[in-house]
Amino acid sequence: MSAPSRAASPTSHDAITTTLRGAMSQHGMRPFALAPADGTTVENPTGGVTTFKATSDQSSGGLTVIEGVSAPGEGPPLHVHREQDEFIYTLDGTFRVRLGDDLIEALPGSFVFIPRNTPHTWQNIGDGSARFIATLSPASVEFEEFFLRYADLPPAERGPEAFGRLAAEMGAMEVSGPPLAQSHPSDRLLAVTRWTPSRPGSIMAGVAIPPNKGTVKRVEAAHRYDVPAERGFAFITDTANWPTYWPGFVRLDEGSVWGAVGDTSRLTTRLLGRKRELTMTVTAFEPNRLVTYTSTQPGLPDARHERHFEPHGDGFVYRLVVEYEQRGGVAGLFDRLLLDRGIRHAFQSTFAALEREFEVSAQGL
């Protein structure tokens, strides 16, 4: 694909681009400069515009650089770049940025590095438009074409579904989850890491924002299955199936129920080498969509759990969340060093066990 040509192309030798003809790199690239607001500009999926500052053609495949503007509350779906590292530098506004399982707040002047294969997304959480510079290295012709193709869609056809479809068709990125507005509504955000640059242009330094009693840790992971969400929900919430996939399952007490708000189940599991008696109480039960519950267990902090069932094509994304308040003293050291690791290991064991169960059941159909 040639460089974006809509409006005035940044590769054309016209008034918007100053090409420095006196020098050329060893790769055949000429240096150039763009004035503010110059470059090919198209409407983007987040309620604003994207301006191409450097393209694959200009950089001989070295990098793609865009300036993005996003409307309040907007952001892309969770996605992954398999062949590019990404760099984001925030210019105006305040963003929430998800990097893997971590959620951070990025103020103006923040720098975010996103290695390839990292699930990530962001959201403008300010009251006005937010602006940033994003760079992909090496360049991605598919990423550039994605924005052009999306801008060509009639307004009525745009949205997350079109985003995912075009991203897949172009090979621009892999969509792996919903936007932050859906996956992490701000009114449910208990803790976020604030990254405040010590000076303009510096790399971020992380500082945790503590809630009233202590830092709330949120651990999250997701996995996609090739079965309908309805089928996955029915299997996962049926207590008769818990021994097949629940990590470290030992036993479920008689009288345990699980199907409506207020239901309680008492479960014994083996976690971090020890048997743990887990008491769980359902706080939300939305068929084929969401289950939330609280848990208490001796020797560990009380926790809040979310199980999301998000339709994705012919299957669904199963997203697990655990939130707990880190304790102080020696117990807090345990929480920081071992509990987080134990939860993540349990997530992966759950995903693997469910994959096996769904494969077996599919073969029996």
Residue found under tokens 């959480």: 125
Angle at which helices 141-152 and 160-170 pack, to 10 degrees?
140
User: What is the reported pLDDT for 17?
Assistant: 47
3-state DSSP assignment of residue 352: helix
Contact 229, 316 (CB under 8 A): yes
Superfamily of domain 17-208: Jelly Rolls (2.60.120.10)
Contact 343, 322 (CB under 8 A): yes
**CATH code linked to domain 216-363:** 3.30.530.20
**C-alpha gyration radius of the chain:** 24
User: What is the reported pLDDT for 243?
Assistant: 96
Q: Which of 339, 308, 338 is nearest to 321 (CA)?
A: 308
User: What is the reported pLDDT for 146?
Assistant: 96
User: What is the reported pLDDT for 343?
Assistant: 87
Q: What are phi and psi of 164, to 5 degrees?
A: -65, -40
The string of DSSP letters for 142-197 reads HHHHHHHHHHHS-GGG-SHHHHHHHHHHHTS-EEEE--HHHHS-GGG----EEE--
Q: What is the largest CA-CA distance in the chain?
A: 82
Q: Report how far residue 127's alpha carbon sits from residue 101's, in angstroms, rounded to the nearest whole number.
A: 26
3-state DSSP assignment of residue 132: strand
8-41 per-residue burial string, b: 16 or more CB within 10 A, e: under 16? bbbbeeeebbeeeeeeeeeeebeeeebeeebbbb
Q: Report how far residue 183's alpha carbon sits from residue 33's, in angstroms, rounded to the nearest whole number.
A: 39
Where helices occur in the chain by DSSP H, the ranges are 56-59, 141-152, 160-170, 180-183, 229-237, 242-245, 329-334, 340-363
Q: Report how far residue 236's alpha carbon sits from residue 354's, in angstroms, rounded to the nearest whole number.
A: 8
Quick one: how many helices (H) and strands (E) in the chain? 8, 22
pTM listed for this prediction: 0.50
Peptide bond into 138 cis (omega under 30): yes
Residue 240 DSSP class: G
**Tokens coding 115:** 């290695």
Angle (CA) 314-320-323 rounded to 5° is 155
User: What is the reported pLDDT for 9?
Assistant: 37
Q: Which of 291, 319, 301 is nearest to 119 (CA)?
A: 319
Ranges of each domain in the chain: 17-208, 216-363
User: What is the reported pLDDT for 192?
Assistant: 41
User: What is the reported pLDDT for 328?
Assistant: 75
User: What is the reported pLDDT for 210?
Assistant: 32
pLDDT tens for the chain, residues 1 to 365: 444 544 433 333 333 445 544 454 455 677 889 888 788 999 999 999 999 999 999 998 999 999 999 999 999 999 999 999 999 999 988 899 999 888 888 888 889 999 999 999 999 988 888 999 999 999 999 999 999 999 999 988 998 899 999 999 999 999 999 999 888 875 333 334 443 333 333 333 333 333 334 577 888 888 999 999 999 999 999 999 999 999 999 999 999 999 999 999 999 988 666 788 999 999 999 999 999 999 998 888 999 999 999 998 889 999 999 999 878 766 776 776 678 778 888 899 999 999 999 987 766 55
